[in-house]
Structure 1
Amino acid sequence: MLKIENITSNIVKVTVPETLKADDFQQMAPQADALIQKHGKIKLLVNASQFNGWENITAFARHMRFAKSHHQKIERAALIAGHTWQHWVAGIVRIFVHPEIKVYDKNQQKEAMQWLDGK
């Protein structure tokens, strides 16, 4: 299951499990929407270092729908990647989504937070 937590007033950390399931986004949406309502546009720190893929095509489709309906509410996103293919996917996604996205390796979480904070 996706884990979502507030790090600062407008930085939200999402920890992605090894495998995303279709219902992960239904469970996370109310919490994400509440944080967006409270803070306006948010910044995301996505720890996908353990992520290996989606359980099935339904999980992938729900992930894409969630991203489509929320990307305009994200100011910037830092992705902590655990696999080379995640760098490639992020490069493609940058073309289609609103927030600025930077990818960091799993040992660069401090740098990712500094970038999100604008420091």
Structure 2
Amino acid sequence: MGVIDPYLTEHGVLNGLIIATEDFPGWDSFGALVRHTKFVRQHHEKLSRVALVTDSAIGDLAEKLASHFVAAEVRHFPYPGLADAQSWVAQNTTD
């Protein structure tokens, strides 16, 4: 939030976000889950794409479920596919 909110204030939208973690670590506490959920709710309409770069099975699940809850297009990439995720996020969303 410390980086994204100021960027959105200046630019209004963010073409994409990359979440890269080899294994999905989960949340440290219920409070952390609540903060994450609040962040997603407040920002999802300002993002065009979200790339999940992980070998965790949560990546496939998140890609399938996300279309029901967020405005952004969500795509799962295997952990070694960070460069592919970066290219996808950098593309114009009309491509």
Deviation at 1:37, TM superposition (A): 1.9
1:48-103 deviation digits (Å, cap 9, x = unpaired): 32431111211111110110001111111111013112321332122110110111
Q: 1:61 aligns with which of 25, 30, 34?
A: 34
The AA in structure 2 aligned to 1:56 is: S
Q: Structure 1 regions of 5+ residues with no counterpart?
A: 1-28
Instruction: Check the 8 A contact 2:24/2:58 in 1, yes or no.
Output: no
TM-score when normalising by structure 2: 0.83
**8 A contact 2:53–2:59 mirrored in 1:** no
Runs of 4+ in 1 over 3 A off after TM superposition: none
Q: Is 2:21 the counterpart of 1:41? A: no
Q: Which of 67, 70, 73 does residue 97 from structure 1 map onto?
A: 70
How high is the TM-score relative to the length of structure 1? 0.68
Distance in 2 separating the partners of 1:32 and 1:72 = 13
Higher strand share: 1
With CA pairs under 8 Å and 6+ residues apart, which has the higher RCO, 1 or 2?
Answer: 2
Structure 2 unaligned segments of length 5 or more: list them.
none
Q: Between Structure 1 and Structure 2, how many residues are aligned? A: 91
* 1:74-85 correspondence to structure 2 within 5 Å: 74-85=47-58
Paired amino acid for 2:9: Q
Amino acid aligned to 2:69: F
The residue type equivalent to 1:95 in the other structure is H
Q: Secondary structure at the match of 1:102?
A: strand
Q: Distance in 2 between matches of 1:68 and 1:49?
A: 25
